[in-house]
Amino acid sequence: MISKAFLTVLLTGLIAGILVTGAQMLRVTPLILQAETYEMGEVAVPHTHSNSGITHEHKLNGVALDAHLKIKDLHGDQNEAYVESGQSWAPADGTERTFYTFVSNVVTGVAFSFLLVAVYLMRGKPVNMKSGLLWGAAGFVVFSGSTAFGLPPELPGMTAAALESRQVWWIGTVIATAAGIGLLTESKNLLPKIIAAVLIAVPHIIGAPHPHLFESNVPAELSAQFAVASLLTSAFFWLTLGAVSGLLFQKLVLEPSESLVTASA
C-alpha cells in the first residue's frame, strides 16, 4: 500500500505540474514578463505619491527628477535594489525559463499530493475522483483562496510589507483555515462548527500586513489581471491535484487492497 500511495503521489504531481505549466504559459507568464518591463524601468508610468500629492512620470532606474522632492532618497534606494537584482542570476526567457517553471510546478505538485494522499490515508474512507475533487477545492481554499483575501498575488515591482510579517500571517492563515475546514468536515456537533468559523475568521479580523506607503510602477489594471489569472490557475492546479489523486488512489490503492481482502477471505 505504501508503494502504491507513493506512486499515486508522484504521478499526480507530474500530471498536475505539466497541466498547470501549460496554463501559466497561456496567461500568467505573459503578465509577469510585462510587469518586469515596468520593474526594470523600461516603461515610464504616471503615478501619484500619496505623501506629497505630486503626479509625475519617470523611470525608477533613471536619473532622479526634481519632482521627487522629499521622496528622492527613497527612489534612490529602490534604484540600487533594482540594479543589484538585475546582476543576480535568473533563467533566460524562453525554453530555460519554462523548464525551471515546469520543474518547480512538479515539485510543488508532488509536495501537495503528499498532503492530499496523507488525508486520504488518515481518514480511512473511500476515495474517488469526485471526493478527491472536493478535497482539491479545500486545498485551494486553504493555501490560495483564504490567503488571497489579505495578500493577493503580486507582480514584480509592487510595494509590499516586510517579508517576515507576510510569511507569519500567511502561515497562520493556512493553519487556521485548515483546522477550521477539518472541524467543519469531520464534526457533526454545533460547538466544533462554531470554533471552525472563528478559526477561519480570526486571521482576517487581525488583518494582513501592508506597507504604510503604497507606491508601484506597475499599472493597477495589470495587477488586477495578474491576481485573477493567478487565482484561476491555482484553482485549476488544486482541482487537478484533487481529481487525479482521488482517481489514482482509488485505482492503485483501494481496489487492489479490497481484492486482497476478498481473496484472503
Q: Mean of the per-residue pLDDT values for the chain?
A: 80
Band (35; pLDDT cuts 50, 70, 90):
confident
Residue 154 CB coordination number (10 Å): 17
In the chain, how many domains are there?
Answer: 1
Q: Is residue 90 part of a domain?
A: yes
67-79 per-position pLDDT tens digit: 443 434 444 444 4
Domain holding 108, by residue range, is: 2-160+211-264
pLDDT at 219 (0 to 100) = 80
Q: Is residue 22 part of a domain?
A: yes
- Give the per-residue pLDDT at 179: 95
Domain assignment of residue 205, yes or no: no
Distances 18 to 12, 25, 47, 78 between C-alpha atoms, Å = 10, 11, 39, 36
Q: Are 17 and 108 in contact (CB under 8 A)?
A: yes
Amino acid at 167: Q
Which range has highest mean pLDDT (81-90, 211-220, 229-238)?
A: 229-238
Residue 203 lies in a domain: no
Q: Residue 11 above 90 pLDDT?
A: yes
pTM of the model: 0.76
